[in-house]
Amino acid sequence: MIIKTLPVGPIMANCFIIGCEETLQAAIIDPGDEADRILQSVADSNLNVTHIINTHGHFDHVSANKSIHAATNAPILIHALDEPMLAQIAASAANWGLSAVDSPAPDRNIDDGDIITVGNITLNVIHTPGHTPGGVSLFADGHVFVGDTLFAGSIGRTDFPGGDFETLKSSIQDKLFALAENVRVYTGHGPETTIGHEKQTNPFVGVNAVY
């Protein structure tokens, strides 16, 4: 599996391009900004984008949806509970003193247990709410893309509308920590980590958590 990580936009949200080495089909996960840079990275690897997947609806993860969709005609996928956020991207960005454009409506809603096929890659959708009501993680072959649910040494904020700490904690401990310890975790901001490392050391949800 080809995995390319691009921190994009002023908040440096991680956009991931995942590609099938056999078919060169690809998915773009969380195109938050800098559409031209994302598309150039896709072209550099001769990939054909078949899916645009949003792990959640916050503007820093979806602001390039419109441009990427226009360039690739790939369907936009998001959980139904976060779908309303796609029509509020410009307003949300403005609250941070930034500019962005609203996203087209999604072509498909995804939920827990769904499968997304990208060439010979099978992405398993895990509903991991708490940061947002419709947050999802995407698991494939020893890799999990978690959006802003879990970070290296931290967790997603729960003080935004729709956030809830206990829900987020359950999503991480009951769903993500059920994955094998050697699974690599690709986070929405910052560096990669592993399930085992976070289970042992994360101060918010690990074995010695004080929260």
State the total domains in the chain: 1
- Alpha-carbon distance 79 to 140, whole Å? 18
Tell whether 141 is covered by a domain. yes
What percent of the chain is predicted at pLDDT more than 90? Answer: 98
Tell whether 95 is covered by a domain. yes
Tell whether 209 is covered by a domain. no
Tell whether 125 is covered by a domain. yes
Domain span holding position 191: 2-201
Digit-coded pLDDT (tens) for 136-171: 999 999 999 999 999 999 999 999 999 999 999 999
- Alpha-carbon distance 51 to 210, whole Å? 39
Contact criterion met (CB below 8 Å) for 46 and 24 = yes
Whole-structure pTM value: 0.97
Query: Which residues neighbour 159 within 8 Å (Cβ) at sequence distance 6 or greater?
Result: none
pLDDT score for 209: 86
Digit-coded pLDDT (tens) for 14-28: 999 999 999 999 999
Asked whether the predicted pLDDT for residue 55 surpasses 90, the reply is yes
The CATH number assigned to the domain holding 148 equals 3.60.15.10
Tell whether 211 is covered by a domain. no
pLDDT score for 208: 87
Query: Which residues neighbour 139 within 8 Å (Cβ) at sequence distance 6 or greater?
Result: 123, 124, 126, 145, 179, 183
What percent of the chain is predicted at pLDDT more than 70? Answer: 100
Digit-coded pLDDT (tens) for 82-132: 999 999 999 999 999 999 999 999 999 999 999 999 999 999 999 999 999
Tell whether 164 is covered by a domain. yes
Tell whether 91 is covered by a domain. yes
Asked whether the predicted pLDDT for residue 4 surpasses 80, the reply is yes
- Alpha-carbon distance 144 to 86, whole Å? 23
Tell whether 208 is covered by a domain. no
pLDDT score for 2: 97
Q: How far is CA 96 from the centre of its chain?
A: 20
pLDDT score for 171: 98
